[in-house]
């Protein structure tokens, strides 16, 4: 079975481009989208999705074109090399907690409209983006990116994904809320006073050892390593996804999966409902992601892809794919500007 990673909804792409659109012409933005292998027409298609590789490539070309490692999403450009020097300032810290305090101090030299503050209470450490200007309007992807970077750096320092207590965002619940389950550890809340991520203090008290060479590799791979950190916080949905990851496209009924997870079918369904998803929804999402990746990254025929993702006939695959993305498989492939090897 091909390697399967989640695809990214077009709403994340639209939000990523908000900073670039403030400084570049529409034609220049479209050119960057094409360089990332994404058809500009996808930007106006509600159900469109891009691969992880396309999303990372778009980040790279936008950062290069704007000269801003945070994509023009803050009031002041974050010049090239900033993330490297941020990382260098952390390497000799006595603990992750000390490193993250330095992390906040570093950012506060660069941000004009927000302050990144670290606080401790009841054995919980909070990193919060608090507005410095009354009425400051959060840039959605900028805030999402800062939370991902904060968690990604802390996790990289200790060499494993750190669990978190909660994530809060200082903006309204977005249309792509359902995607947060895979990109952010839960629970996630919106319409908060400020954007924040909270850790148990004991995890940040850990010592670590990272070298300059390791840091340079981490920066070189940015933003892939910290945007697409995968989370496994013991949720039932994550356990189902993990089990199905190598079996997507094959017939894995509810009773088989529930037995593999050592619970009844009724218990599995109830727990997934409590997590605002369902067994069928998870299966469909994984089949959708595999289909999109196959259309973008391979020359396999639509008939072959239909069989690969578990459909007995191509017309049924066409109907499902249109439901998932608003497009037929053939149209989706024709409008994809780039196919990676």
Q: DSSP 3-state assignment of 337?
A: coil
Q: What span, in angstroms and rounded, lies between the C-alpha atoms of 154 and 150? A: 6
Q: Which residue has the tokens 């608003």?
A: 326
pLDDT of residue 231: 44
Average pLDDT over residues 80-100: 95
Q: What is the pLDDT of residue 181?
A: 67
Judged by average pLDDT, the poorest of 112-121, 134-143, 161-170, 260-269 is 134-143
Q: What DSSP string runs through 53-108?
A: HHHHHHHHHHHHHHT-TTTT-SSS---TTHHHHHHHTTTT-SSHHHHHHHHHHHHH
The region of weakest confidence among 82-86, 228-232, 282-286 is 228-232
- pLDDT class for 182, splitting at 50, 70, 90? low
Structure tokens at 89: 């300032």
Which tokens is 168 given? 């809060």
Task: Locate the domains of the chain by residue range.
Answer: 8-66, 82-227, 236-334
Cβ contact 192:169 at 8 Å: yes
Q: What percent of the chain has pLDDT over 90?
A: 49
Beta strands 166-168 and 195-200: pairing type?
antiparallel
Under a CB-based contact definition with an 8 Å cutoff, are residues 255 and 297 in contact?
Answer: no
Domain at 236-334: CATH architecture: Orthogonal Bundle (1.10)
Q: What percent of the chain has pLDDT over 70?
A: 94
Other Cβ atoms less than 10 A from the Cβ of 254: the count is: 17
Confidence of residue 275 (pLDDT cuts 50, 70, 90): confident
Phi/psi of residue 115, each to 5°? Answer: -115, 140
210-247: per-residue pLDDT in tens?
Answer: 999 999 998 888 887 777 765 444 578 878 888 887 77
Within 10 Å of residue 305's Cβ, how many Cβ atoms?
A: 23
Could you give the 3-state DSSP secondary structure of residue 339?
coil
Instruction: Tally the C-alpha atoms within 13 A of residue 253's C-alpha that lie toward its C-beta.
Output: 5
Helix (H, G, I), strand (E, B) or coil at 319: helix
More reliable by pLDDT, 19 or 241: 19
Cβ neighbours around 269 below 10 Å, total:
17
Instruction: Kindly write down the DSSP assignment for every residue of 217-254, as one continuous string.
Output: HHHHTTTHHHHS----SS-HHHHHHHHHTTTTTS---H
pTM as predicted: 0.78
Take residue 266 and report the two structure tokens written for it.
Answer: 């009724």
């Amino acid at each position: 079975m091909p390697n399967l990673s989640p695809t990214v909804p077009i709403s994340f792409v639209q939000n990523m481009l908000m900073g670039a659109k403030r400084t570049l012409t529409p034609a220049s933005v479209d050119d960057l989208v094409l360089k990332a292998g994404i058809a500009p027409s996808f930007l106006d298609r509600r159900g469109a999705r891009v691969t992880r590789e396309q999303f990372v490539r778009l980040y790279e070309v936008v950062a290069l074109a704007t000269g801003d490692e945070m994509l023009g999403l803050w009031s002041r450009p974050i010049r090239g090399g900033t993330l490297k020097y941020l990382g260098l300032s952390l390497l000799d810290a006595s603990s992750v907690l000390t490193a993250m305090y330095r992390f906040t101090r570093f950012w506060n030299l660069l941000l004009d409209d927000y302050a990144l503050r670290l606080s401790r209470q009841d054995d919980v450490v909070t990193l919060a983006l608090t507005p410095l200007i009354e009425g400051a309007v959060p840039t959605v992807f900028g805030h999402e990116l800062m939370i991902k970077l904060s968690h990604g750096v802390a996790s990289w320092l200790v060499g494993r994904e750190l669990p978190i207590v909660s994530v809060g965002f200082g903006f309204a619940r977005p249309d792509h809320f359902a995607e947060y389950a895979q990109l952010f550890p839960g629970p996630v809340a919106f319409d908060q006073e400020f954007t924040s991520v909270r850790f148990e203090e004991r995890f940040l008290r850990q010592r670590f050892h990272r070298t300059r060479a390791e840091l340079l590799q981490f920066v070189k791979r940015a933003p892939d390593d910290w945007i697409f950190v995968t989370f496994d916080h013991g949720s039932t949905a994550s356990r189902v996804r993990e089990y199905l990851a190598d079996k997507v496209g094959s017939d894995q009924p509810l009773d088989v999966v529930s037995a593999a997870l050592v619970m009844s079918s009724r218990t599995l369904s109830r727990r997934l409902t409590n997590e605002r998803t369902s067994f069928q929804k998870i299966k469909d999402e994984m089949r959708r992601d595999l289909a999109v990746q196959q259309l973008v990254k391979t020359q396999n025929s639509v008939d072959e892809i239909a069989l690969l993702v578990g459909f007995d006939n191509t017309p049924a695959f066409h109907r499902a794919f249109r439901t998932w993305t608003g497009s037929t498989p053939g149209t989706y492939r024709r409008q994809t500007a780039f196919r990676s090897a």
